[in-house]
């Protein structure tokens, strides 16, 4: 029972930043004066979040998956994720919208939350550090996801409600990982590789192009800082 309480506590911390990032984005959108500086901050935020997500793929999701699975299933799962999100992205675009930021956040957040629960069974300290890392990742990602939803015609209240609801998905994922996947490393690795394929597709198809801003070099630098955050987190996690 004590382990369950800790998992819920850690995953709640990791998830609440989804809502807090959206809340900050709401006030930034409404109260920060329009102009080039605002555009620069927005584009840099997108690039920073993309850098963190790329670090999660390159340093956590893919390496952990490759450690467990042989070549053939590794390649099939990765490509399946990429192809599935290729068709999903096309379908969403035909409907007149894009929610790439939200999709990448979920593709990153949920597998890592499952991993949090799975590793907690054997290493409590690693579970705590992973929760901190996930929480830091979610903040810029949800900041951008709020704007993504807003641009697709959702009201401000509905955007925040969606993010609040999603913030608790990490608790369910972590508890599921603890009880269902702690003794199933291959299934956990498969989920990580599948997610990695989808994330990488969305980064290069949607997020990286959106971060570009004419006559500004800060967004590209923001991506580097985002990746650095991932490097630091991975170094701490070992």
For the segment 120-178, what is each residue's pLDDT rounded down to a tens digit?
776 777 677 778 777 877 887 788 788 888 887 888 888 899 898 888 888 888 888 88
User: For the whole prediction, is pTM greater than 0.85?
Assistant: no
Q: Domain total for the chain?
A: 1
Which of 54-58, 118-122, 214-218 holds the top average pLDDT?
A: 54-58
Nearest to 86 by CA among 70, 101, 65, 100: 100
Confidence of residue 35 (pLDDT cuts 50, 70, 90): low
Average pLDDT over all residues of the chain: 81
Mean pLDDT value across residues 14-34: 84
- What is residue 70's three-state secondary structure? coil
pLDDT value, residue 209: 73
Q: Calculate the alpha carbon distances from 88 to 75, 100, 143, 169, 202 in Å.
A: 20, 10, 22, 21, 10
**What is the C-alpha separation between 115 and 86, in angstroms, rounded?**
25
CB 163 within 8 A of CB 86: no
Nearest to 41 by CA among 227, 222, 225, 209: 222
The domain of 109 spans: 2-237
Residue 234: CA count within 13 A, CB half-sphere: 19
CB 198 within 8 A of CB 103: yes
Confidence of residue 237 (pLDDT cuts 50, 70, 90): low
Q: Calculate the alpha carbon distances from 24 to 28, 43, 86, 139, 170 in Å.
A: 6, 15, 30, 9, 20
CA 178 to chain centre: 20
């Amino acid at each position: 029972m004590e382990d369950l309480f800790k998992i819920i506590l850690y995953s709640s911390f990791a998830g609440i930043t989804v809502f807090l990032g959206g809340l900050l984005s709401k006030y930034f959108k409404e109260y920060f004066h329009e102009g080039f500086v605002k555009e620069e901050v927005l584009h840099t935020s997108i690039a920073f979040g993309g850098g963190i997500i790329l670090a999660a793929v390159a340093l956590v999701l893919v390496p952990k998956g490759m450690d467990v699975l042989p070549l053939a299933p590794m390649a099939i799962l990765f490509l399946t994720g990429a192809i599935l999100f290729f068709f999903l992205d096309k379908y969403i675009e035909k409907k007149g919208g894009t929610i790439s930021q939200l999709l990448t956040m979920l593709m990153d957040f949920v597998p890592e939350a499952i991993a949090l629960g799975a590793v907690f069974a054997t290493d409590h300290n690693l579970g705590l550090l992973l929760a901190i890392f996930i929480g830091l990742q979610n903040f810029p990602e949800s900041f951008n996801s709020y704007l993504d939803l807003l641009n697709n015609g959702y009201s401000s209240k509905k955007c925040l409600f969606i993010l609040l609801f999603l913030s608790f998905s990490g608790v369910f994922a972590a508890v599921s990982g603890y009880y269902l996947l702690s003794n199933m490393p291959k299934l956990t690795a498969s989920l990580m590789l599948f997610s990695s394929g989808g994330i990488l597709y969305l980064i290069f198809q949607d997020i990286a192009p959106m971060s570009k801003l004419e006559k500004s070099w800060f967004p590209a630098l923001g991506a580097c800082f985002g990746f650095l955050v991932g490097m630091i987190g991975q170094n701490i996690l070992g």
